[in-house]
A and B are shown apart, each in its own frame.
Chain A
């Protein structure tokens, strides 16, 4: 059985908020140095990914292929700077590697690659596959009779891909209670607002009707994130679990927030300095 954290909630939240700030700094820093990458969706996912890597997931940076580890699939693979920053800060590889993002011969490819980066459980990048992969991992957990959780982080835009709903049906069919899908509901996709590009209706209702348990949270309120993730782990029954997280694309950098153009654009020197100042409260 898993232990519920006995860390006092106040210090737990403070610790995670500080960690998230650090992750945000590295996201902007590595994308600036690469002059390429996707800051918007990485920043919207930062608080969630931070809570997973620095609190919830049972992982061992010294043993990335540990059979009992919790799995994490970043279905929205373009947001990988958030995962790379988290892995580096956890000690999977030196922080200095972050400076090689997207460069030739780097372990940090433009999108996550299992066989190149320690700690990446599965290659992702082409959208709409992560939930299917998570279904496979959760089935593997059942076959091996292990109690690990499989977390899949999915963008709301990528829910346009029909394969998500094939996977949603399969997860319910096989009663994959060890599968937790988190939807990064930042309401923006590459070409514009999700409701304009392809309205998907209520995501919560959709997952519920497929036979999932659905929770909702504020994806930037660390206390809400911690309480919701805790609830997801403890929920009884046999349904897969979906958490719809309300988020803001570009969160933490005022001029990136809710702006479509920051989906896949690197900041220039002036923007970089401004962004770091906002994140750290001090100059770069």
Chain B
């Protein structure tokens, strides 16, 4: 894998400028972090379509609802901690309930903002926003998918929440891949166990799969970039093949993707050994991104351990 030259937040906003040339209807609202989310690029290209609303996220999202009330697409931009919590009622009652065409550019998802500490780490965002009817939730793993998901979010009617990352990681996709609501990609084929993940954890999962390959363990990795709705078909096909599943996410375990996946499998009486990698009912802390990942059990090394113990349970069930 090639080291990425830019983070998903930048790729998303750069594409916003390109897309904005041919699509003149959408506008962008920013909450005073435009140089961090890179929406300032859009503001420079289209000053009359860019509104800096100051450090007032709740007002920004309710204003977006007013702008979108007659159908106009609106992108609102901030960090995940603020969008998913400070502006949560505006999002739920005034955007999701009337099903308005508002897109949430939500940067610094998970502990990718590690260095800033827990106040700036969005580690409950997926749980919060996934619970709202009408909301779709996406999380690109690299800059190619981030750019494509900008298009997808604007082409999807109604509210869409896009979780982005602070730091550049690795490029996973080339331009031939397509992305859709309720979609996923098998980014590595395997036969012993299914590893479901998204965002920055796709890279950690692929690393874990490589480490385990040396031990003769074959891991199938699914990038579940559509967190709501999930891609049930791909998930089920993979789990039927492997007979075991691990979900790895940079998020609280509680009500994350690791709750959605076994919930679905249980509903269709698909009972397989399951493990969940995520924050275990704890806040993280400041530090180097990889160091924090490892300390809180989210690194490739930690994923390999979870996979090995899950496989041990699978063997036990078979005997």
Contacts and interface: CB of A to CB of B under 8 A. Distances in A.
B66 A139 contact: yes
A166 B54 contact: yes
Interface in A45-80: 65, 67, 71, 73
Nearest to B62: A132
Interface in B48-77: 48-49, 51, 53-54, 56, 58-59, 62-70, 72
B69 A139 contact: no
A110 interface: no
B57 to A, nearest CB: 9
Given A114-B98, A133-B62, A170 B56 contact: yes
A126 B93 contact: yes
A170 B99 contact: no
Q: Is the contact region of chain B dominated by helix, strand, or loop, or is it mixed?
A: helix
Contacts, number: 95
A255 interface: no
B27 interface: yes
B89 interface: yes
Contacts of A132: 58-59, 62-63, 65-66, 90
Contacts of A135: 59, 63, 66
B94 interface: yes
Given A123-B97, A129-B62, A136 B69 contact: yes
A115 interface: yes
Interface string B254-284: 0000000000000000000000000000000
A143 B72 contact: yes
Contacts of A196: none
Given A123-B94, A123-B98, A140 B63 contact: no
Contacts of B99: 115
Contacts of B64: 136
B58 A133 contact: no
B66 A122 contact: yes
A129 B53 contact: no
A65 B72 CA distance: 13
A125 B93 contact: yes
A65 B70 contact: yes
A163 B65 CA distance: 14
A212 to B, nearest CB: 16
A189 to B, nearest CB: 19
A216 to B, nearest CB: 25
Given A166-B54, A174-B51, A140 B67 contact: yes
Contacts of B89: 126, 129
Interface of B: 27, 48-49, 51, 53-54, 56, 58-59, 62-70, 72, 89-90, 93-94, 97-99
28 contacts: A65-B70, A71-B69, A113-B98, A115-B99, A122-B66, A122-B94, A123-B93, A123-B94, A132-B62, A133-B62, A133-B65, A133-B94, A135-B63, A136-B62, A139-B66, A140-B67, A140-B69, A140-B72, A143-B48, A143-B49, A150-B66, A163-B56, A163-B58, A169-B56, A170-B53, A170-B54, A170-B56, A173-B54
Q: Which 3 A-B pairs have the closest CB atoms?
A: A136-B66, A132-B62, A166-B59
Given A122-B69, A140-B70, A169-B54, 18 more contacts: A121-B69, A123-B98, A129-B90, A129-B94, A132-B58, A132-B62, A133-B66, A135-B63, A135-B66, A139-B51, A139-B66, A140-B67, A143-B27, A150-B66, A163-B58, A166-B59, A170-B56, A170-B63
